[in-house]
Structure 1
Amino acid sequence: MGSASSMLTQYDIEEVQEHCHNLFTQQEIVSLYQRFCQLDRTAKGFISADEFLSVPEFAMNPLSQRLLKMVDGLNFKDFVGFLSAFSAKANGQQKIQLIFRVYDSDCKGKVYFNDILEVLRDLSGSFMSDEQREQVLTQVLKETGYSRDSYLRLDDFVKIFGNISLRMEVEVPVD
């Protein structure tokens, strides 16, 4: 798996499959590898931020700048690991971990009021004023037992989002 232009061996496929907790079939991993190679235009073995932005759906995502911090420079194994949270087979905990990472932009394991506010700003754009966003967020935190001064850890996200059905899925086309 060193060079993006090399072929995957059965061992590579099984290693990647294990890395992503068997959330993708071997056939899906081969398809993802083909897509990875298409994105890795210079065959360096990893995908740059610019290459990710060449995917229109990614570039149009209101959270693309936050996601870019998570995906810039991923090799194939980590690329599949990142995408595994979007597998139909991924459980709620795996999806919540990814959501937490989006909010935890400094990777310190804590999400503060302003972190959530920034994501809300990215998602709502000009449809809401800063004041409206702050009011909504303050109310949601209050209803879940937190305050504006609280910070949330991953286990708090699990507590808050644990009973919500999260539909974060990407279909992997298989030839």
Structure 2
Amino acid sequence: MGNTSSMLTQYDIEEVQQHCNNAFSQQEIVSLYERFCQLDRNGGGFVSGEEFLSVPEFAVNPLSQRLLTMLDGLNFKEFVAFLSAFSPRATVQQKIEFIVKVYDSDGNGKVTFNDMLDVLHDLTGQFISEHQREQVLTKVLEEAGYTKESLLVMSDFVKFLALYSHYFWKAYHA
């Protein structure tokens, strides 16, 4: 796949579409390819973390540093697969898998208390104290039937997320 949308063949489009589980239409894939080429300033076929940070909306995202570990060095096919979690056509399962990857700092498929605390810190900054974050997180884990030592896998994380969002909202607006 080259650096201009005219170099993206029908075969390439269909291959990428299949790779992202049809989360994007063919026209959306062409548009994503054009954006990918804009980001790939050196034309190497990969987008670096530095190139992603050139997007203002990405640079100001509180999770941008965490996301960079997932994004740095992606080729076009991987870029579209990454973005597929944000598609309205993505399944709930695909969205949850993405969220777990964001939380799972070491990529072992398990989310720890510290992983969750780190994300909560990234999202809240100085608006909530470290002590408050730990209290909220401990309480939510306990209510979901887990402890600070629990390692949450995908199915556990679904249960946890429902309570987590409720308590985080309450603590943040207290």
- Normalising by structure 2, we get a TM-score of 0.89
CA-to-partner distance for each residue in 1:40-68, whole Å, 9 max, x for gaps?
01100010000000011110000000000
Matched, 1:50 2:50: yes
Task: Give SS of 2:7's match.
Answer: coil
Contact kept, 8 Å, 2:141 with 2:160, in 1: the verdict is no
Task: Give SS of 1:98's match.
Answer: helix
Partner of 2:107: 107
Q: 1:41 to 1:128 in 2, by over 3 A?
A: same
Partner of 2:170: none
Q: How does 1:1-150 map to 2 (within 5 A)?
A: 1=1, 3-5=2-4, 7-150=7-150
Equivalent residues, number: 163
Partner of 2:167: none
**1:123 shift after superposition:** 0.4
Partner of 1:172: none
Contact kept, 8 Å, 2:140 with 2:160, in 1: the verdict is no
**1:7 shift after superposition:** 1.0
Structure 2 Cα separation of the partners of residues 120 and 40 of structure 1: 31
**Relative contact order (C-alpha < 8 Å, sep 6+): which is higher?**
1
CA-to-partner distance for each residue in 1:6-42, whole Å, 9 max, x for gaps?
7100000000000000010000000000000000011
Partner of 1:167: none
Structure 2 Cα separation of the partners of residues 112 and 10 of structure 1: 43
Same amino acid, percent of matched pairs: 67
Contact kept, 8 Å, 1:4 with 1:46, in 2: the verdict is no
Q: Which residue identity is paired with 2:153?
A: R
Structure 1 Cα separation of the partners of residues 141 and 118 of structure 2: 15
Of Structure 1 and Structure 2, which has the larger fraction of its residues in helix? Answer: 2
**1:162 shift after superposition:** 7.3
Q: Which residue identity is paired with 1:45?
A: G
Partner of 1:152: 152
Q: Which runs of 5+ in 2 are unaligned?
A: 165-174
Contact kept, 8 Å, 2:140 with 2:163, in 1: the verdict is no
Structure 1 Cα separation of the partners of residues 160 and 126 of structure 2: 27
Q: Which runs of 5+ in 1 are unaligned?
A: 165-175
**How large is the Cα RMSD of the aligned pairs?**
1.6
